[in-house]
């Protein structure tokens, strides 16, 4: 591996808590990451867009919040910001997924990471950079679980934009220019899932129905739910990120590591279970289901053997725990379970 001309810098004084910068710290994943790192005694700095950088719905915390538009930040500005913070770990939980344009995804998912890698290269003291990738970088799956060695052929622009970011981090790490690792994450669920996501949106709709002894059956109309997906709890993802932050560089630098549940569940089954846990009289209706000729079921399942080996991590929450947490956070569960 090539050696970089990285300048040495004095380590922090003994007894100083590690400092963690979470990009996108006001978002769904970011909030859970902040909580997890704070629980280890780390000093946490959240960096988010100006309208999201202030106090959020969490209980008051000691976290610092910096307002920075990560989609448009200039490389020099980000480099100066990170140099001033002197982090031990930088986690990139920022990005664009749902209901946005290809242009915005390119800026938030690809160009931001190019800027971030350039900034981290210049820091006088090298932090661990953890890039959160996605299962959708793999694209169409072959039968069985997907290992990290499977060629990545994304089927949509979101997956392509994240794959380009992965390659940027890996190229720099493998060239010895930074200490970076990519966690390729399955479909994340749990408390606070965005309303723009499938399950977060359903939880919000169930919450809008509200409780009531005289409630009549309501139809929940969705597009056909034919896929099989790997769902992982957001707290399990946060624990994987903690493990990646604390792992030895020799184990993780320059690596892609899958983070998922290691099994697939039919999306229809997951939605039905979410409705059952809500206790509401809701009947699922899939618009157009069965109208088209049946195709091979689209299945995406991650092989998490490498995470178990390198991170000594595995998921601990089951599907019901994740769905119940989602409903509780959305105000849907209450005492009706």
Could you give the residue numbers annotated as active site?
A: 158
By CB neighbour count within 10 A (0-12 exposed, 13-18 middle, 19+ buried), where does 302 fall? buried
Q: Do 20 and 43 form a contact (C-beta atoms < 8 A)?
A: yes
At 286, which helix (H) or strand (E)?
A: strand 282-286
The C-alpha R_g of the chain, in whole angstroms, comes to 21
CA dist., res. 77 & res. 134, Å (int): 27
- Bin 270: left if φ > 0, else alpha if -120 < ψ < 50, else beta: alpha
Q: Would you mind telling me the total number of residues written for the chain in this entry?
A: 337
CA dist., res. 108 & res. 284, Å (int): 35
């Amino acid at each position: 591996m090539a050696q970089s001309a990285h300048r040495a810098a004095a380590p922090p004084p003994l007894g100083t808590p590690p400092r963690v910068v979470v990009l996108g710290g006001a978002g769904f994943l970011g909030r859970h990451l902040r909580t997890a790192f704070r629980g280890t005694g780390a000093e946490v700095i959240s960096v988010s867009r100006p309208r999201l950088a202030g106090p959020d719905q969490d209980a008051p915390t000691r976290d610092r919040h910096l307002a920075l538009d990560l989609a448009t930040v200039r490389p020099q500005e980000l480099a100066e910001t990170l140099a001033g913070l002197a982090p031990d770990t930088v986690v990139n939980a920022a990005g664009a997924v749902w209901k946005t344009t290809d242009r915005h995804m390119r800026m938030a998912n690809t160009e931001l990471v190019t800027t971030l890698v350039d900034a981290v290269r210049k820091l006088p003291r090298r932090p661990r950079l953890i890039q959160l990738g996605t299962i959708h970088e793999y694209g169409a799956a072959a039968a069985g679980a997907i290992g990290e060695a499977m060629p990545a052929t994304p089927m949509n622009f979101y997956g392509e934009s994240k794959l380009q970011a992965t390659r940027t981090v890996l190229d720099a790490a493998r060239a010895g220019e930074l200490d970076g690792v990519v966690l390729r994450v399955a479909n994340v669920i749990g408390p606070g899932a965005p309303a723009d996501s499938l399950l977060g949106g359903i939880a919000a709709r169930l919450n809008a129905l509200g409780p009531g002894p005289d409630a009549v059956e309501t139809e929940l109309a969705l597009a056909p739910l034919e896929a099989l997906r790997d769902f992982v709890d957001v707290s399990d993802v946060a624990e994987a990120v903690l493990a990646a932050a604390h792992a030895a560089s020799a184990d993780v630098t320059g690596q892609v590591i899958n983070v998922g549940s290691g099994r697939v569940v039919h999306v229809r089954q997951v939605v039905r279970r979410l409705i059952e846990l809500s206790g509401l009289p809701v009947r699922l209706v899939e618009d157009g289901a069965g109208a088209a000729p049946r195709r091979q079921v689209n299945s995406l399942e991650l092989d998490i053997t490498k995470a178990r080996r390198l991170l000594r991590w595995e998921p601990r929450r089951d599907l019901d725990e994740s769905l119940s947490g989602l409903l509780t956070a959305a105000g849907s569960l209450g005492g009706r379970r």
